[in-house]
Structure 1
Amino acid sequence: MFDTLNTMITEALGPAGPLMVVAGLAFLLIVATIPMLLRQKPDPMDKLAKSGRARMDAETKAILRDNRRHAKLNKYAQYLEPQSAEELGQMRLKLLQAGYRTKDAVRLYFLAQMVLGIGLLIVGTVYYFLFKDGPDATLQTKLMYIIGPGAIGYLAPKYWVTKRVEERKKQIEEGFPDALDMMLVCVEAGQSLDQSIVRVAREIRASYPALADEFEIISHEMKAGKDKRSVLSDMGERCGVQDVASFVTVLNQAASFGTSIADALRVYASEMRDKRVMRAEEKANKLPTKMTLTTMMLTVPPLLIILVGPSVMSITQLGNLSFN
């Protein structure tokens, strides 16, 4: 039965007929599912659960944040956000570490994945049927030109965010020792920790903007009245750098035991300077190993040509003369 159906489809639509039928059925299923999901009625129990304090929180959020600019995203939020709270928190944290702090960052991320994936899938399908379709086309060629662009479009936002996170972490690691030295100078000059953070954020803006943004967020949260311990802990979580997390621990311990913040900064800044020197030495020690392969690839072949080439030419010429 399946062989007969496959033969009929192939005779009617060509070699790519079965693939076209499968793609069409998938598209029809997606189109038929969307209206059902949009017409889904809310659970009455959810309405009851949103009474009392939840209603007051919603009114407060409505006052503080205007959702009118993103009404379309709010309408399709259940399709553009993970349903699991744990997955949503992990994705939000990753976007924070990449520097995307807007309220709709998670929704825009999944929207980009969906639009790029479906868009490039359509582009690849059109390109294949216009230029590559033929009797000699194999299944591997079909998958490469049709599904390949869609997979690339779906994975492109993830690759971009991961790359941004790595670049931002590297920038924070490079600028953190200098920021600690400046903070220590400010504290020893008589400024408070809050004032020193504001001053350091302003001074390192040109060289390390990512670290300056984190210090500015700290200063704004402290001015808003948020607890200093939780503010510093949030910074360590946002940065995702071990040095910053250790720095947060040092400051929290200094505040808990009542020790001098200047002494804690002095000791930790010294450790950060030593650690930066150790990183530089580690990179210097890796350099000869990395250069060995490059040196062999770029030096040995020309050297062999120079040394062995004349001998090979002479042997070839002698062989031709003896043969003649």
Structure 2
Amino acid sequence: MPAPIVVLGLCIALAASLLAIGATHWLYERRARLARLRATTNRHGRAPRGTGKAANGQIQRGALALMRASTGRLSILKGRQVAEIRALLVSSGYRSRDAVVVYTFFKVVAPLVFLTGAALWVYGVGTLGKGALIDAAAVMAAGLAGSKLPDLVVRNARAKRLTAIRKALPDTLDMLVICAEAGLASDAALKRVVAETTRKSSVLGEELQQTALELSFMPERRQALENLAERAPVPSVNAFVTTLIQAERYGTPLARAYKVLSQEQRTERMLKAEEKAGRLPATMTVPMMLFILPALFIVLIGPAVIGIMDSFISR
């Protein structure tokens, strides 16, 4: 009995260490990316220095070397799949060039860890007691859950990021309207809005900051704007990018285009709120039947039932 428990503890420690490596890698890359962007857009911006970050960089390089060595010989993802996974990771906020390596590593290791841990728990510590078939199904289900865990983490981060972008876009458009009406050009207005939105660590501010950088050095402005639409695949962002491209192509005043687009986005958000409010009665039907109506019946009918029972008992 002690040996399986020790092995199970080692598997749990391995899984925790892998998760810690992944979280440290994400935080380090995010801080480094923000530092590079701020140093480029701001003349006086300087990248942070320190021995602690150098040590973290060495740890990151060692962990990435381990991940590359572990997944280098495995041809899990093909060319098209790599492009799709890279686009998914970029829209989720993982823009490092090694993000695909980290994702592939956890995609391979997580099922093995879950499968080994479940097997040691079921067959070593104690079976479920419902037959060998149920035990095997539980072990296979744990392995399947481990294989789906990286996808769930990435898609959850992507959904949260896109929701934050969609909510922040109308206010950003209002600031662009103010800057355009004040006489600023498109790039200057965008940089001014980026300087205001990054103070709140806005997700949309980070995307616009990278777009401002790409506009400053890319030969085609259209490509930089289309990259924004690819990094944030939200209908409102696509409409924003299309509006900018058409305004630059046909010479439409930017203030008027921003104002119309801001009104459309606020109207769309109001319609979505009204749609959620319209679905609320149908959504509340089952909770009312399960929780509210029984309590209401007890409160209304309970005293009468108790009175009838007292009358029968008194006789």
Same fold (TM over 0.5): yes
- Structure 2 distance, partners of 1:197, 1:134, is 60
Separation (CA, whole Å) in 2 of partners of 1:214 and 1:179 = 12
User: In the TM superposition, what whole-angstrom CA distance separates every residue of 1:211-233 from its partner, at most 9, and x where no partner exists?
Assistant: 01100110111222342100101
Asked if the contact 1:80–1:107 (Cα under 8 Å) also holds between the matched residues in 2, the reply is no
Query: Match for residue 281 of structure 1?
Result: 274
1:97 to 75, 79, 91: 91
For 2:174 and 2:127, how far apart are their aligned partners in 1? 64
Please give the per-residue CA displacement for 1:273-311, whole angstroms capped at 9, x wherever unaligned: 222222232233333443344344333112211222233
Deviation at 1:80, TM superposition (A): 6.4
Structure 2 Cα separation of the partners of residues 294 and 180 of structure 1: 40
Structure 1 residues 266 and 259: alpha-carbon distance in aligned structure 2, compared to 1, 3 A threshold: same
Matched positions, count: 254
Q: Tell me if 1:132 matches 2:121.
A: no
3-state SS, counterpart of residue 79 of structure 1: coil
Tell whether the 8 Å contact from 1:204 to 1:212 is kept in structure 2 after alignment. Answer: yes
Shift of 1:257: 1.7
| Runs of 5+ unmatched residues, structure 2 | 1-59
Q: What pairs up with 1:63-78 in 2 under 5 angstroms?
A: 70-75=64-69, 76-78=71-73
Q: Which amino acid aligns with 1:111?
A: F
Per-residue Cα deviation, 1:163-212 (whole angstroms, up to 9, x for no partner): 11111111111110110110111122122211211221221235562101
What secondary structure, in the 3-state scheme, does the structure 2 residue paired with 1:233 have? helix
Q: Structure 1 residues 187 and 139, CA, compared in 2 at 3 Å: closer, same or farther? A: same
Whether the 8 Å contact between 2:176 and 2:255 is mirrored in structure 1 is no
| 1:173–1:241 Cα contact (<8 Å) kept | yes
SS at match of 1:117: helix
Task: Look up the SS of the partner of 1:204 in the other structure.
Answer: helix
Tell whether the 8 Å contact from 2:85 to 2:100 is kept in structure 1 after alignment. yes
Change in CA separation of 1:78 and 1:227 when aligned onto 2, cut-off 3 Å: farther
- Structure 1 runs not aligned, ≥5 long: 1-66
**Alpha-carbon distance in structure 1 between the residues aligned to 2:215 and 2:128:** 66
Matched residues in 2 for 1:136 and 1:74: separation?
42
Query: Greater relative contact order (Cα 8 A, min sep 6): structure 1 or 2?
Result: 2
Sequence identity percentage: 29
Aligned partner letter, 1:126: L
Q: Which has more radius of gyration?
A: 1
Change (3 A) 1:218 1:120: same
The CA distance in 1 between the partners of 2:74 and 2:144, in whole Å, is 19
CA contact (8 A) 2:122 2:128 kept: no
Aligned 8 A contact 1:171 1:208 in 2:
no
- Cα distance in structure 2, aligned partners of 1:200 and 1:158: 33
